[in-house]
Structure formats: C-alpha cells, structure tokens
C-alpha cells in the first residue's frame, strides 16, 4: 500500500525534478566548490521540514524523524559535484553547461535531483516513516581526499546513529527501470603512483656519456606488465596502468629524467600495497643496473566499494515490491573507483547502478566522464521509488544493539 503512495508521489514530483536536474546541469560546480548547488538543495529541503546540517563548507545532511517510533536510522546518499571538462551533445542541447570548463558528465546532477525527489516523497509520508532518515548531499566525490571521507571525519553520521547506507550511480548500460546489484566487491580501489627515473642528460649522438632515462623507462614499463600476470593470484583482480609518460624536449637531446604517472586498481589495500612495493623494487633494480636512480611515491585513493550481502537482499526485496522497478544482477565488478567506500568502512549498506541508458536520451552510448555523457531523466522515477520504499522495508537496516 505504501508503495502505491510512493509511486504516485514520485510521478507527482517528476516534472519539478526534471527542472531541477537541468538547473544543476546548466550550473555545474567543481568538487568542494558546490556553493550554489548546496544553496539550491537547502532551499528545497527546509520547507519540507528537514533539519539541515552543514558540517562541511559545501554539501549538506538532511534529517527527517519519522512518526513511527523505531530503532532505525537509514542513510541515503547523492554526490553533487561536476567535472573539470567541456561537454558536448545534441540530446542535452537545451541545458548544456553554462560554465566554461565545468560539466556534469558523470550524472551527479541526476543523483542530486533524484535524492531531492526522495526528500519530497518522504516528507509527504513522514507520519508513516519508522525511525529516522538521513539524506546525504555529498560534495567532492570526483576529487581526493573524497567528500565522503571528509564527512565521515566530522563524525556527524556516527552521532546521528546511522545503521545502514545506500547510494546509487547512473549507469549507461542499464535500461530505464532497471537497477543493477551485486553482493561483495563492486568497485575497485584506485591508487595512484608517481615514478621518476633520474638518469644523466647528454647529446643524443654520444649516449655513452649519458644515462638515458627514456630507455630505462621503456624497460620498466615492459617489466611491470608482468607483475599482475606473474605475482597476483589469478582469482584476484588487479590492474597496473601507466597513463602518462613525459620526458625530453627534442630528438637530439637525452633528457635528465622521465616521469610516469600510473594507477593500481584492486579490491584490497593489502594487494595494492604489495603491487606498489613490487613496482618500486622493479624500477629500482632496472634503474640501478643502468646507473640511474628513481623517486617513487604511492598516493592512496579511495577504498574498494564492497556491498553488504543483507543490504543487497533488502534492495532486491524492495525492488520486487515495486512494479516499475526491475533488479538485475551486475555481471561483474567494475575497476573504477567511488568514494561511497568510505561510508562502507563503518556502516553496512550497498551501492547500486541505476539504469539511465536509452536511445531516446542518447544515454546508452557514452560512458561516465565522456563529453556526451547523458542520463535518461525517467530513471529518477525508478531511483526515487526504490530509495523511498527502502525506508519502509524493515530489512534495510540491522539494529546495532
């Protein structure tokens, strides 16, 4: 019965959400600078009866106490930041970014509007809500150290007694109406490294007087390709990629040094650290053999997104009660990173992919962070209904006591 009410309310608020999503899309703001976005969110929340907290400079946390006494505190999260890039695309021509060099090409505009929709629905149903609902409008997902980490460090969510947390991301390979779920590891930890090979510059035609860091770098890149294939258990997933290499200026000068930037993707901190040590040892050995040296730095990224099995069960069960929502299995984890993982280090819960791909919106072709990335707004009906219905499913939290 409650689900019928949720669906009606979702359809009722939908047009407003499309306007809001397009407003955020036209006025994107970079990580930790989401000032106007935050203001717009707060303006929307306060008249709905939410208690709004601002523990960081941007973003906010909205708390709604339900009318039904229950030992239950459920958190729902949206990320609100945009990317430093130019966007393109015919399908969103009416609401392209008006800010040069900043664009919502990861769908966070839709995540934000969607959670505001949930806020509207829950406000209408406040008297029937068991326990407390915490809505997290999180800044800075795209940029380390991660808004989720900063929010966790404020201790506010812990003080509010959050028992479980759920979040969603737009997903171009899922259809509208679908939500893709997976238990356990879902997204990888993206660690980065900087590797500098320090040789000795000289004339390109007199290599015997120089120590050529270009040749040494080529050897290092080739050899570290076998770290994953030879040193990692084949049943574990890991990737090592050098994404950037820079050195030298012209064809006839051997440069002093070469710098490489790389990423290590895995599902465990221990494995990532082991791979990192091996990269450093391999590079040191190759460089030393040639008379060169290295400088190496590992920059730790977000932890892996690992979903609590019972929370995924709760999502599946909730979806089954909503005629318009289909839960489908996500075939395999994705090696991209996501700072939702910081919440999961303390709270059980689950991340999910909301199908936003369709030919009508041209949103089934381009992946996250592509200039043409778009989302089918109708997916908000699915996202809102699922998140709101989750609040009424007793299995979506487990009491700590």
- Note if the bond before 187 is cis, omega within 30 degrees: no
Residue 73 Cβ vs Ni ion, minimum distance, rounded to whole Å: 25
Helix/strand/coil for 260: strand
Please count the residues of this chain forming the interface with Ni ion, following the rule CB under 5 A. 1
- Taking CB under 5 A as the criterion, which residues in 94-123 touch Ni ion? 106
Q: Which is nearer to Ni ion, 142 or 280 (CB)?
A: 142
DSSP string, 87-156: ---STTGGG--SSTT-B--SSHHHHHHHHHHHHHHHHHTGGG-EEEEEEEEE--SSSTT-HHHHHHHHTH
Q: Which is nearer to Ni ion, 168 or 294 (CB)?
A: 168
Distance of CA 222 to the CA centre of its chain: 31
Q: Which is nearer to Ni ion, 80 or 216 (CB)?
A: 80
Question: Which candidate, 243, 268, 398, places its Cα nearest to that of 333?
Answer: 268
Residue 338 Cβ vs Ni ion, minimum distance, rounded to whole Å: 7
Q: Which is nearer to Ni ion, 276 or 356 (CB)?
A: 356
Active site annotation includes 141:
yes
Q: Which is nearer to Ni ion, 106 or 384 (CB)?
A: 106
**What residue number has its CB nearest to Ni ion?**
106
Residue 107 Cβ vs Ni ion, minimum distance, rounded to whole Å: 6
Is 197 a binding residue for Ni ion by CB under 5 A? The answer is no
- Residue 284, C-beta contacts closer than 8 angstroms, at least 6 positions apart: 293, 294, 296
Q: What is the dihedral of CA 59, 65, 71, 76, to 10 degrees?
A: -30
Active site annotation includes 94:
no
Residue 108 Cβ vs Ni ion, minimum distance, rounded to whole Å: 6
Measured N-to-C along each axis, helices 2-26 and 379-391 cross at an angle, to the nearest 10 degrees, of 130
Catalytic residue among 141, 338, 376, 377: 141
Residue written as tokens 């979702």? Answer: 10
In this structure, are residues 320 and 3 in contact, taking their beta carbons and an 8 Å threshold? Answer: no
- Taking CB under 5 A as the criterion, which residues in 9-48 touch Ni ion? none
In this structure, are residues 94 and 77 in contact, taking their beta carbons and an 8 Å threshold? Answer: no
Catalytic residue among 29, 34, 44, 81: 81
In this structure, are residues 193 and 298 in contact, taking their beta carbons and an 8 Å threshold? Answer: yes
Residue 336 Cβ vs Ni ion, minimum distance, rounded to whole Å: 8
Q: Which is nearer to Ni ion, 80 or 106 (CB)?
A: 106
Give the β-pairing of 293-299 and 189-198.
antiparallel
Structure tokens at 31: 């990580």
Contact track, Ni ion, 286-305, x by CB under 5 A = --------------------
Residue 368 Cβ vs Ni ion, minimum distance, rounded to whole Å: 6
Residues of this chain that bind Ni ion (CB under 5 A): 106
Supply the residues annotated as catalytic.
81, 141
């Amino acid at each position: 019965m409650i689900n019928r009410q949720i669906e009606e309310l979702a359809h009722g608020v939908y047009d407003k959400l499309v306007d809001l999503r397009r407003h955020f899309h036209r006025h994107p703001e970079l990580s930790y600078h989401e000032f106007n976005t935050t203001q717009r969110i707060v303006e929307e929340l306060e008249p709905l009866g939410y208690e709004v907290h601002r523990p960081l400079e941007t973003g906010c946390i909205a708390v709604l106490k339900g009318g039904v006494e229950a030992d239950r505190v459920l958190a729902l999260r949206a990320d609100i930041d945009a990317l430093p890039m130019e966007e393109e695309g015919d399908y969103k021509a009416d609401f392209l970014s008006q800010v040069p060099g900043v664009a919502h090409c990861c769908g966070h505009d839709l995540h934000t509007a969607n959670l505001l929709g949930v806020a509207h629905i829950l406000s209408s149903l406040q008297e029937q809500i068991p326990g407390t609902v915490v809505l997290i409008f999180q800044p800075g997902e795209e940029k380390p150290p991660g808004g989720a980490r900063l929010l966790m460090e404020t201790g506010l969510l812990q003080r509010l007694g959050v028992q479980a947390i759920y979040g969603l991301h737009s997903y171009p390979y899922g259809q509208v109406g679908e939500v893709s779920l997976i238990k356990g590891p879902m997204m990888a930890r993206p660690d980065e490294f900087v590797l500098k090979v320090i040789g000795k510059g000289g004339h390109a035609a007199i290599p015997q007087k120089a120590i050529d860091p270009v040749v040494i770098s080529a050897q290092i890149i080739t050899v570290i390709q076998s770290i994953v294939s030879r040193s990692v258990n084949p049943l574990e997933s890991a990737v090592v990629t050098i994404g950037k290499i820079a050195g030298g200026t012209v064809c006839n000068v051997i440069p002093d040094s070469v710098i490489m930037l790389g990423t290590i993707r895995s599902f465990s901190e221990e494995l990532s650290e082991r791979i990192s040590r091996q990269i450093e040892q391999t590079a040191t050995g190759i460089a030393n053999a040639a008379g060169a040296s290295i400088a190496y730095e590992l920059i730790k990224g977000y932890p892996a997104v690992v979903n609590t099995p019972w929370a995924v069960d709760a999502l599946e069960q909730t979806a089954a009660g909503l005629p318009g929502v289909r839960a489908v299995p996500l075939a395999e984890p994705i090696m991209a990173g996501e700072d939702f993982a910081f919440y999961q280090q303390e709270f059980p819960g689950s991340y999910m992919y909301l199908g936003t791909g369709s030919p009508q919106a041209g949103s089934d072709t381009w992946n996250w962070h592509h200039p043409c990335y778009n989302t089918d707004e109708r997916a908000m009906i699915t996202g809102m209904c699922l998140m709101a219905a989750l609040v009424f499913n007793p299995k979506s939290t487990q009491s700590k006591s």
